[in-house]
Structure 1
Amino acid sequence: MNIAYWIVAVPLALFYLYAGTLKVTRSRDQLRPMMAWVDRIPLPALRALGTVEVLGATGLLLPPLTGIALPLAPAAAGGLVLLQAGAIAVHLTGGDRRIALNAGLVTSAAVTLWLATGL
């Protein structure tokens, strides 16, 4: 197995498992101190976003671990690239210029996508 893939994919997946679980389980009031943008989208969309993040994290880890449906790993990484591109757009259109975390996540997801193609 490609060690470089695991070095990048595991922390990325852990971040998305954490962030996605928060979005699925916590209220807007609990999320607002961490994510100022939560009031700009409907609650069902926020829950769906969290679900997509958890599924993306699962897609990064399970296919390479099990050897089943390996094309899902690069698909999950590509989906996370698109997700973060959308997150950057949401931040910038809302007047929030703090996108350093998003830039790091989109870069990590792109590297994971590139490494996943060699699995």
Structure 2
Amino acid sequence: MNLALWIVAGLLAVVFLVSSCSKLFMSKEKLASQPGAGWTQFFSAGAIKALGVVEVLAAAGLILPAALDIAPVLVPVAAVGAALLMAGAAITRFRLRDKLIAVDLLYLALAVFVAWGRFGPESFTG
């Protein structure tokens, strides 16, 4: 179970890092031209950059506290934050009737799995 939680947390961290790069380093217009980025029309350029920063923090929070053994209790907290982020993404895609909602729901389920596992059976504190 511990290995599965590490793998899922690592996968989520990579997904969030890759996703954040496009939000942080591409202009809103260029990002909007990408497939599945219709949601950008409802957000300002600053809000998109802020989402990128939140995704970087989520990626770091899923891995670094446990890997460095510095406040590993922050891993499930980061997983809850990632789950909330993906819930917001899924709601936005639902409102747009976007088929990529399935991907957001998958990432939401993975983040919930990490939060459940790290708060419960494979907690770093017990």
TM-score range, shorter chain: over 0.9
Verify the 8 A CA contact 1:13 1:56 in the aligned structure 2: yes
Q: RCO greater where, 1 or 2, for CA within 8 Å and sep 6 or more? A: 1
The TM-score with structure 2 as length reference comes to: 0.87
Does residue 47 (structure 1) correspond to residue 49 (structure 2)? The answer is yes
Matches of 1:18 and 1:98, distance apart in 2: 17
Structure 2 residues without counterparts, runs of 5 or longer:
none
Query: For the Cα contact (< 8 Å) 1:23–1:49, is it kept in 2?
Result: yes
Structure 1, unpaired ranges of 5+ = none
Query: Structure 2 matches for 1:51-90, cutoff 5 A?
Result: 51-90=53-92
Deviation at 1:90, TM superposition (A): 1.0
Q: Is the 8 A contact 1:60 1:77 kept in 2?
A: yes
* Inter-partner Cα distance in structure 2 for 1:83 and 1:54: 12
- 2: CA distance between counterparts of 1:9 and 1:68? 17
Q: Distance in 2 between matches of 1:106 and 1:76?
A: 13
In 1, Cα distance between equivalents of 2:111 and 2:60: 14
Amino acid at match of 1:105: Y
Matched-pair identity in %: 37
Q: Is the 8 A contact 1:21 1:51 kept in 2?
A: no
- Counterpart secondary structure, 2:53: helix
How many residues are aligned here? 119
**4+ runs of 1 displaced by more than 3 Å?**
none
